[in-house]
Structure 1
Amino acid sequence: MSNNRSSTRDGFGDAMIAIGETNQNVFALTADLTESVRLAAFEKNFPERFVQVGVAEQQLAGISAGLALADKIPVAASYAAFQPANSWGVIRTSIALQNLNVKLVGAHAGLATGPDGATHQSLEDIALMRVLPNFTVLQPADYQEAREATQVMVQHTGPTYLRISKISVPALQFLEPFAIGKMRTIQAGSDITIIGTGAVFSEVLAANKQLQDEGISVRILNCSSIKPLDVATILTAARETTGIITIEDHQIAGGMGSAIAEVLAATTLGKPCIRLGVQDMFGESGQQPELYKKFKISAQAITETAARILAKKY
C-alpha cells in the first residue's frame, strides 16, 4: 500500500481525457453533474463529443443507446443513486436487451457519499445491474485501477456498468493486472480470505494489520470484476483457507457478497462465507468513517468476523 491517496472518480476522469485523445468514437454524457463525475476536462477538450442532458437520467440512457446504434462509444456518468435507479427500465429495454455497447458510470457510490444522506447513498445499484443479462459490472478499488478499468471498459464490446466513489482511498499493490472476469491479489495468505470491492480497502488493510499481529495469515482479494466473477479464484480460496469474509459498501442482498455466496452454495466445500455490508437498511447522513462503523463495514467488524470463523462460531 502507498501513502498516496486519491479517488476512483479522479481515476475515471483522467482516463477519459487519455481515451478522448486517442479514440474519436468515444462520447461522454452526463445529467447536470459534469464536475462531480469528473468530466469537465473532457468537455473542455472535446466539446463536440460531450453531451449534457440536464437532470434527465432516462434521456441519458436513451441518448446513449442511440449513440451506440450509430457506432459510437457512449460513456454516460451520473450519481449511482440516480443511474441506474431512475433509468433502469430504459437501461433494461434499450441497452441490455439490445446488447448495445453503452458504458454507464455510477459515481458517488455507497455510504461513502456521507453527509448527502440516504437519498444520495446508492446501496442497491450493483444488485440492479448484475441481474441484467449482457451487462458487465466493474468496481475499481483505487485511482490507478479506476484508470485501468475505464480503459478496459471502453475497449470491451458490450454494455458495462462502472461503479466509482468520491472519497480518497489508498493506492494498492496488486499481484496481477486488471482484467474483466479476474480478481486481483493484494496479499497471499493461508488462514482466512477477505474479499473486498470498491472503497473499503482502508478498513480491510487496518483489519489485516491487527490480524497479522495476532499471527493470522490473511489472503486479501480485490473483486473489481463483480460480473463476470472469477469463480476459479473464489473456489481456490475456499479450498485453501478456513473461510471467506466479503465486505462492500452496498446492501448485502444482491451485492458482491451475494454473488460469491451463490458460487459457494453450488459446491460441496462446506466453507463459511460471512458477508459484511448494509443489512436491509437505508443509509443516513454522517461522515464516512462513522457510517462504516455503524453499518459494520469496518476493520473492527472484519476482525470480529475472522475470530468467529477461526473459532468455528458461525
Structure 2
Amino acid sequence: MAKDNQLGEFLRARREQVRPEDLGLAAGGARRVPGLRREEVALLAGVSTDYYVRLEQGRERHPSAQVLDALAHGLALDEETAAHLHRLARPAPGGRRRPRRREQVSPNLLRLLDGWPGTPAVILGRCLTVLAHNALGKALFDGHTHSGDLVRLVFLDPDAREFYPDWERVAVNTVGGLRAAAGIDPDDPRLIETVGELSLKSEAFRRLWARHDVRQKTHETKRFHHRLVGELVLSYEALTVNSAPGQQLVVYQAEPGSPSESALALLGSLTTESAPEHIRR
C-alpha cells in the first residue's frame, strides 16, 4: 500500500464515484474523468479549487476538522466513511513501534464459544483471519482452501462464488472491512502483506480496493451454499472484543422455523464430536 498520500488517494477515489446529478449539479458535456471534477468538490465543500488540488496531490497535509467535515458533506460520505477520512488526515502520533504481538484469543472467550453448540461463532483478527471458532463455526467455513482467512477465501478460493451466491456484495463488504482496519493501523505488517498479495493475485480485489469503500463489519444477512447441507440464509452480528482491540466476535443465526434452521441443525449433527480445536492461527 502506498502510504505517502493516502488522504489524496482517498479523496480522488471517492470523487470519481459521485455522479454530479446526485448532488444537484448539472452533468455538463463530455467529462474526462468519471464522477465529480475537482472544482466541483471544492465548490461543494466551500474551499478554493487550488486548496483542494493541493489536498489531493499531497501538498497540503493538515486540513482542519471543519474542512474535513465539509469535504465529507460535499462527497456525500456516510458517518463511517467520514470518520475514516478524519483518521487518514490525522493519523495516530508516530513514535517507536513495539513489535506486534501474535493475535491470541482469551480463554474466557473460548469458553463462551463452546457454550453455543447450536450457533456458529468465530473470532476474527484485524485482517479477518479466523483466530478461533466453535465446532459449528468451523463446520460453516470448512472444506475450502482458505477456510481460516475470510478475505483470501472470498478472492482466492476457486469455489468462492459458489459458496457465496451473492459474491459481489460479499466482496464489496469484505474489502470495506479491510479498509476500515487499514484506516486504524495502516502500518500493520499483516495488513500490508494481505493487500499486497491480493492486489497481485486478484483483479477483482484491485478494483474494489481502489474504490476506498469503508464498511466496518456489523450485521447483515448472508447466503451460503454449503457443500454438505445446501443453501443457508444466516444473519450475523459482529461484536468488538474490548479486551483485544481489533478482534471481532461474529455470531451467525438462522431465522427460527426456516429451512436454514433445519439445515444448520443438520450441519451440527454432521460435525464430528471431538475436543475443541479453537486456534487456527
TM-score by length of 2: 0.29
Q: TM-score normalised to the size of structure 1?
A: 0.27
Of Structure 1 and Structure 2, the greater helix share is in 2
- Greater strand content: 1
Larger Rg: 2
